[in-house]
Amino acid sequence: MVHGGPFPATSDSRHTSVGSQAIYRFVRPVCYQDFPQAALPAELKDENPLGILRLLDGVYTRDPLHRA
């Protein structure tokens, strides 16, 4: 079913705002909590292989994250 109307409805036949397929229009991963390190992109790994400046406990650092 394609439901045309005001946002978030759509007349685009690839997506729908109603029914079981509507979940694909609005859902995206936003949390990597408990992801294995091997599955994370380099930017998010604890060892910080790219040396990205990150905010950790209110302090900017390029150091790897050491978990207790």
The residue type at 13: S
Q: How many CB atoms lie within 10 A of CB 35?
A: 13
Cα radius of gyration (the chain): 19
Cα of 40 vs its chain's centroid, Å = 11
Same domain, 25 and 38: no
54 and 23 both lie in a single domain: no
CB contact set of 42 (below 8 Å; sequence gap of 6+): 49, 50
Same domain, 25 and 44: no
Specify whether 45 is located in the same domain as 63.
Answer: yes
**Per-residue pLDDT tens digits for 12-38:** 566 556 667 667 767 766 788 888 999
The stretches of 1-68 forming alpha helices (DSSP H) are 23-26
pLDDT tens for each residue of 48-60: 999 999 998 899 9
Q: What is the pTM of this model?
A: 0.51
7 and 23 housed in the same domain: yes
Q: Which domain holds residue 46?
A: 33-68
Same domain, 39 and 52: yes
